[in-house]
Amino acid sequence: MNQANLREEISSRKTFAIISHPDAGKTTLTEKLLLFGGAIHEAGSVKARKAERYATSDWMELERQRGISITSSALQFKYQGYVINILDTPGHQDFSEDTYRTLTAADSAVMLIDAAKGIEAQTKKLFHVCRQRGIPIFTFVNKFDREAKDPLDLMDEVEKVLGIESYAMNWPIGMGQDFKGIYDRQTGMVERFTSGGGKKSSKPPVSGDINDPIVREGIGEDLLKQLHDEIELLDLAGNTFSQDRVDRGEVTPVFFGSALNNFGVPNFLHSFLNLAPAPQPRSTNQGILAPETETFSGYIFKIQANMNAQHRDRIAFIRICSGRYERGMNVIHTRSHRRLRLAQPQQLFAQERTILDEAYAGDIIGVHDSGLLRIGDVLTEKDGLQFEAMPFFSPENFARINIANALKRKQFIKGIQELQEEGAIHVFRDLHVGVEAPIIGVVGQLQFEVLEYRLREEYGVKVNIQHLPYEIVRWIDKNEKTVKLLSESSMSTVVLDKDENYAVLLLDDWKAKWLSERYEIEFYAQPQEPTVS
């Protein structure tokens, strides 16, 4: 393939993640983007339990039961000449580790805000991760068909709480029961709102130019005056639009709508595709790597076991950073320096997959993994390439896991190992206890519930979870005197991590500081030099 064709293919890719606080409507927005893009024919609202329709991106049974996303899904579809890769991330803060890693694979982010609640804790946390990476952020203010905060107050909140300038691409006309539609600031057109589940009117609302008498009549004088005043204020005192500043993550374009009713979603998608960046260059140990570089390279940002329960498969998600993938090509696994053949890479659509013949920088593909691959591993045609290190998250909740039925020991060990390799849990081995009763560390308590569920449903193993009082883990040098002292202390338990590095579980930061000062022990926030297998 010549350079011009390669550049054209790569420039058509749009790869983004959707971030939000739980219940802001993230999975619903994902579904409506897929519906509008023609990728699915019926959206499964996360509330439509009676009809047994579920969100396409929520493939795990527990997600369907709870109505939340607890795994990251990759969804790809084509629309108007673009190849769109959506990374749907867990909204719940207990799964922020998975979300943070997924954000490294995105070129931009869509920040979803609940119009009634404004900026919430998890949104703020995830926003700052995107900000640190300097990626463009687009804002969709959802649920304006319900009672909401004043839109000017929401714009002000975005700027004050998040510290980023905002620019309204469209503007809501009313809210809640009086929600009449949205006004497009670029075109002067009004799109009138019709509720999907509301009462049907014999006279449908009319969309069109704001100066059209029929359109104005349908809105009413009071809301027209309010719209005029607010737009005038935005034009005079609001921020100016700048594509360069959007690209640098300094200004966020803001859109209003209702994802549940698919209102404002088409407008948002059209604008987003025009404004969002194509795949961006990446920092490496060999300098900046351009996506149109002919040499193929990518890295693994996620591993998921048992996506297909019938086959007990294990899929590694790869973000392609440069070049072109061809079916059956050979690549080098840089951590082991082994040559691998990527025989059956798959285009992912949540749980559904199709075999790919080719893929380009910006695409997310899945490959079968026999156990060699780890999160952060690099696959490339030229050995020695390394991308920036994946973010490390130290667990804050700990529990000892005991198998209920000793005859299931083999399945238990396999399940713990595979879930550890996914990055879903941290596994520690007590120096005085065998592998049948490991200590598990997680970021959030809900992960224990998911662990128990997945061991039972995917591996046929029932377990007992004994919660431990420790709040932090620190790594230590392999020193016989230090290990003995901390092993005998009532404040700590010495363990080995997955790479046989010595670590210590501690009750809290204060006690860690006291032990460090009292016995001159140096604690590390993460492993210093993990053993490479």
Judged on CB neighbours under 10 Å (0-12, 13-18, 19+), 38 is: exposed
Q: What is the 3-state secondary structure (H, E, C) of 206-275?
A: CCEECCCHHHHHHHCHHHHHHHHHHHHHHHHHCCCCCHHHHHCCCEEEEEECECCCCECHHHHHHHHHHH
Residue with tokens 């004088």: 221
Does 423 count as an annotated binding residue?
no
User: Residues 6 or more apart from 444 whose CB is under 8 A from it?
Assistant: 92, 93, 94, 95, 96, 396, 397
Judged on CB neighbours under 10 Å (0-12, 13-18, 19+), 236 is: exposed
Does 252 count as an annotated binding residue?
no
User: Residues 6 or more apart from 442 whose CB is under 8 A from it?
Assistant: 94, 395, 396, 397, 398, 424, 425, 426, 448, 451
Does 276 count as an annotated binding residue?
no
Does 205 count as an annotated binding residue?
no
d(CA 466, CA 283): 43
355, 284, 361, 285: which is closest to 319 by C-alpha? 361
DSSP one-letter code for 93: G
Does 41 count as an annotated binding residue?
no
Phi then psi for residue 52, to 5 deg, are 55, 40
d(CA 92, CA 442): 14
Does 247 count as an annotated binding residue?
no
d(CA 363, CA 339): 22
173, 175, 115, 164: which is closest to 140 by C-alpha? 115
Does 209 count as an annotated binding residue?
no
Does 180 count as an annotated binding residue?
no
Does 430 count as an annotated binding residue?
no
d(CA 183, CA 186): 9
d(CA 210, CA 233): 17
Does 5 count as an annotated binding residue?
no
Does 343 count as an annotated binding residue?
no
Q: Where are the alpha helices (DSSP H) in 290-445?
A: 409-421
Could you give the count of Cα atoms lying within 13 Å of 417 in the half-sphere of its Cβ?
Answer: 14
Does 498 count as an annotated binding residue?
no
16, 113, 25, 125: which is closest to 69 by C-alpha? 25
Does 24 count as an annotated binding residue?
yes
Does 143 count as an annotated binding residue?
yes
Does 90 count as an annotated binding residue?
yes
Residue ranges of the binding site: 20-27, 88-92, 142-145
Residue ranges of the binding site for GTP? 20-27, 88-92, 142-145
